[in-house]
Amino acid sequence: MDDWAWRRNQRYGTLICDLDRHRTIALLPNREPATTEDWLLDQQQTGIVGRDRGGAYAQAISQALPHAIQVADRWHLMENASHAFLDAVRKSMRQIRVVIGATTVDSGLLTAAEHIQYEGYLRWEETNGVILALAKEGIAIKEIVRRTGHSRKVVRGQRSDMFRIRESSLDLHLPWLDAQCAAGRHNATDLWRRLRRTGFRGNLRIVGEWATRRRRSDQAQAGERSRTPAARTIARLLTIGREALTKAETVTVAAIEGGVPMLVEAREIVAAFQSMIRKKNAEELEPWLQGAKAGLVGSFANGVAKDRTAVIAAITLP
């Protein structure tokens, strides 16, 4: 059981397959527990259900087929673990920028959209400075609101990142784009057309901005690092073999590993979980949970703990 998209990010249904026959046997119009439960009530012969990590499916199966063994899908477990590490990288971006010397931004390397974000960040920094100065004097929030004219939400809030963390439709294609540039292909229109043939749905502007930034970055002096790589790129660099890294990437990884130890710990925890799945060693699960809950991937570990029985089934059953 898994969800599938009628329309991506807007409307989803439920896909049900028979894993003995390797056939789709039902497509439900939504992924609501009640809809799934109604369908399962007529399937009392079912003894094992493999499912994604969604709590809605677990609830529906428990209600309709209380005798059935629930198995968390192994692919989803591996993917969830990888995404947990990506989230850990995103949480650590401020420290990463500091340790690789990227706290100063060269505005000449920014796209138009990033210029807007950067200017907004500078205004926010100025506002933060005024608010923090008043707070250090012991002035109450209500009085700071009155003096500055800012809302209580602004006075209480803090923004730590210069660029908003937002996934781009281009993120999954960055390794391919890097390889194309290394092969001497730099024309944005040509790259966009090639990407379209691989299933990319973004427009030419996105690829053009990336190509422009890449060209400007290549022209910068070799020792300068004016812009931190994207979180997804950093996650990839931290998890691939050292032999696959360039000299510059090796320096970046070494700086991050030395300056953000909690991120290194998160990487080791995720790697240990994925190894446990591959080796089918359920005895390692409880010690892993004890060590994983306090770090950057704690929310992932808590989710595994809540789904413990189905995760153990995923590790042990064929």
Give the pLDDT score at 160: 44
CA distance 165 to 231: 8
Give the pLDDT score at 163: 45
Give the pLDDT score at 9: 78
Q: Per the domain annotation, does 159 fall within a domain?
A: yes
Q: Per the domain annotation, does 173 fall within a domain?
A: no
157 Cβ neighbours under 8 A, 6+ residues apart: none
Tell which of 166, 193, 210 closes a domain. 166
Tell whether 59 and 118 lie within a shared domain: no
Instruction: Show the low-confidence residues of the chain (pLDDT under 50).
Output: 158-165, 221-226
Paired residues of 12 in beta bridges: 5
Give the pLDDT score at 224: 41
Residue/partner pairs of 183-186 with CB below 8 Å, 24 or more apart: 186/211, 186/214, 186/215
Q: Per the domain annotation, does 153 fall within a domain?
A: yes
Domain range for 12: 2-72
Tell which of 121, 139, 166 closes a domain. 166
106 Cβ neighbours under 8 A, 6+ residues apart: 220, 224, 226, 227
pLDDT tens string 39-55: 999 999 999 999 998 88
pLDDT tens string 193-207: 988 888 888 888 888
Give the pLDDT score at 222: 40
Give the pLDDT score at 69: 97
Q: Per the domain annotation, does 39 fall within a domain?
A: yes
Are 111 and 168 a contacting pair, CB within 8 Å? no
Q: How many CB atoms lie within 10 A of CB 179?
A: 10
315 Cβ neighbours under 8 A, 6+ residues apart: 276, 277, 280, 281, 282, 285
Q: Per the domain annotation, does 196 fall within a domain?
A: no
Whole-prediction pTM value? 0.61
Tell which of 120, 145, 166 closes a domain. 166
Q: Structurally, how many domains does the chain consist of?
A: 2
Q: How many CB atoms lie within 10 A of CB 182?
A: 9
Tell whether 16 and 65 lie within a shared domain: yes
Q: Per the domain annotation, does 52 fall within a domain?
A: yes
